Amino acid sequence: MAPEELSRRRLLGALGVAAAGTAGCQSLFTTSTVDNDTATPSTPDLTADDADDADASVYTRVYEQVADAVVSIRVYPDRSPPSQGSGFLIDDSHVVTNEHVVAAGDTVFARFADTDWRPVDVAGTDVYSDLAVIETESVPDGTDPLSFAAGQPSIGTRVVAIGNPFGLSGSVSQGIVSGVDRTLEGANNFSIAAGIQTDAAVNPGNSGGPLVDLDGDVLGVINSGGGDNVGFAISGQLAQRVIPALITDGSYDHPYMGVRLASVSPLLAEANDLEQASGVYISYVQPDGPADGVLQGTSATRRVNGSPVDTGGDVVRALDGTPIPTRQALASYLALETSPGDTLSVTVQRDGETRTVEFTLGTRPEP
């Protein structure tokens, strides 16, 4: 780590308490920035121990900046043990969490740090993004809501996860962004696009808590842990599209093509005489769906290396002129760039030719 970066972080640490006291309540859409030209502190000589202390102070500062806005959540189903999760404050009265946290029962309680458990109402849920918003009538004085970071994080960005794993409230773990544009498992055979992968420790009870950068801005909503050193979060970009609708309408409408997709594997490329094993193959088009009569699904099979392989379906190469090399890219583009009712321009390879077709996106059906 460069000495200049450490010096900057020490300056921010010294200013952290004052900034928290004057920031006030921030809008859901507020993003935080730091003016790097406002000060040019001197650069001291640092030993290895100094560097370790500087890192420790950074994580302490982030925790102190964020922790008061993180809540513990308990949900009480009928005739079964309660479940638990995490959430975080985004304005004067709304807390973001996971849909799967609040879906466990009808009675929901939340607790801020150093407060008692308080009943809360569920303002809205969206099973397809696994996001939910709960509304609380009481927020402790001096608790500032968290802001979402602007844009997608870079791989390698240092992050902090704060939540309540195994009911241990206010726990913090640190790591990096290990990957972006991950496809997370969703409901009803759909997927959650644009997910963030991290190696920060994520365990049961962390669900719904914030994954923040070292400025305390939310990069994502923690969703699940996939194994040793592999955790996932719903991206802040998707959350900022979904959450306003959950607050105002109680639900969110996702765009819908009405097709079934497959990755272009080497065998599928050979069976369909494709020069490149890339793009997204349309294996099925839903009758009377948005793409019916416009896109083309599988019409036959061909044996390659002894295995039957679908043939005849369109291969998507671009959406609205944006190259689409993978299913993840297609899902992310739909989720972050389109809405139901939009006219989608799709460039496909069909029968050895490239053509562009258009249709109007529908609304994803209820699960």
| Amino acid identity for residue 223 in this structure | N
At a CB cut-off of 8 Å and minimum separation 6, what does 146 contact?
Answer: 26, 66, 69, 88, 89, 90, 210, 212, 216, 217, 218
pLDDT at 198: 96
| 130 in catalytic set | yes
pLDDT < 50: residue spans in the chain: 1-44, 46
Active-site residue, from 68, 86, 91, 100: 100
- Does 278 fall in a domain? yes
Instruction: At 51, give phi and psi (nearest 5°).
Output: -65, -45
- Does 286 fall in a domain? yes
Number of domains observed in the structure of the chain: 2
| 351 in catalytic set | no
- Does 171 fall in a domain? yes
DSSP 29-66: T------TTS---------HHHHHHHHHHHHHHHHHHH
- Does 56 fall in a domain? no
- Does 95 fall in a domain? no
| CATH for 338 | 2.30.42.10
- Does 249 fall in a domain? no
Q: Could you list the residue range(s) of the whole structural domain that residue 224 is in?
A: 158-240
If asked whether residues 264 and 320 sit together in one domain, one would say yes
If asked whether residues 342 and 259 sit together in one domain, one would say yes
**Helix, strand, coil: what percent of the chain each, to 5?**
20, 35, 40
If asked whether residues 231 and 261 sit together in one domain, one would say no
Question: If residue 124 lies in a helix (H) or strand (E), which one and from where to where?
Answer: strand 118-126
Tell me which of 190, 208, 240 is where a domain ends: 240
pLDDT at 365: 92
pLDDT at 82: 85
| CATH for 216 | 2.40.10.10
Active-site residue, from 130, 144, 217, 310: 130
If asked whether residues 260 and 341 sit together in one domain, one would say yes
pLDDT at 177: 97
- Does 293 fall in a domain? yes
Tell me which of 240, 266, 292 is where a domain ends: 240
Could you tell me if 62 and 216 are in contact, meaning their C-beta atoms sit under 8 angstroms apart? yes
- Does 98 fall in a domain? no
Tell me which of 240, 272, 293 is where a domain ends: 240
Active-site residue, from 7, 72, 129, 207: 207
| 94 in catalytic set | no
If asked whether residues 216 and 261 sit together in one domain, one would say no
pLDDT at 108: 95
pLDDT at 106: 87
Provide the whole-model pTM: 0.82
How many CA atoms does the CB half-sphere of 338 hold within 13 Å? 27
